[in-house]
Amino acid sequence: MPELPEVETARRRAENALAGKRIQRAAAAADGLIFDRAPPSEVEHALTGRTVVGSGRKGKYFWLLLDQPPHPVFHFGMSGRLHLYRNGTPPPKYWKLEIEASDGTIVVFTDMRRLGRIRLAADPENEPPVSLLGFDPLISLPSAAEIQRLLAVRRGPIKAVLLDQSFSAGVGNWVADEVLYQAGLSPLRPANQLSRPEVRRLRTALKNIAEQSVALDADATRFPIHWLFNYRWDRRIGRGPRGEPLVRQRIGGRTTAWAPSRQK
């Protein structure tokens, strides 16, 4: 599932391709799952003729800002992707929305599993579901003291709390595992029992993972060799970056990879 780094990278690509340009054509697929609030025809009408003036993102949601509302809001779900190409190229398989700018640039949203969403909002950041999200580690990371205050009322395992979008928006399974590995914290620890030094380590890891992965355009082939990400998927090896044994178990409803010898 695309998480904060992948969605932020997609937002930047979309803004770079479309900002300052007029949308001369918008085509929406007849898919009532993807367009679950405004029908495809309404989305097409709302976008056609408008000029893209910028974009925004919080957590796993991003949106294009037009010269007048409503604005299109995107959520990738499990398999949503963004594609860029020029006029004359047929749309890719599983396309859901095709936006063509006046200069022939085309941005397409695809979703093979149809778990993503495309909606319209007058004020995306201040309307549900975006307004219900917690802090975003890249753009609104609280102080360690504030994070500890937020954790004080959370009794569940810290892994499950990190996955809760009302706590930390944009953090998904691989980011949560990476943060806890880098912070040296067991995913099973009750969130409200972390000490102040442990919360500071957690905050540092959240900041570093978010910033570094985005700086690398969410390109996993460029992630640092000491990241758990490079080892968490391969069950045959079963060892982490430092050679420590890895354990895989379900925590917070998601498969978790962690190193008990390192994470306490």
Burial label, 63 (beta-carbon count in 10 A; 0-12, 13-18, 19+): buried
Selected catalytic residue, list 3, 98, 100, 198: 3
Selected catalytic residue, list 58, 60, 96, 159: 60
Nearest Cα neighbor of 253 from 163, 130, 132 is: 163
CA dihedral 225→226→230→232, nearest 10 degrees, is 170
Which residues have a Cβ under 8 Å from the Cβ of 4 and sit 6 or more positions away? 59, 60, 136, 137, 138, 169, 170, 171, 172, 175, 210, 213, 214
> Tokens 């941005």 — which residue?
107
Active site residue 8: no
Which tokens sit at 162? 């990190």
Strand, helix or coil for residue 52: strand
- DSSP structural state of residue 141: P
Active site residue 58: no
Which tokens sit at 221? 């082939």
> Tokens 């549900």 — which residue?
128
Active site residue 211: no
Active-site residue set: 2-3, 60
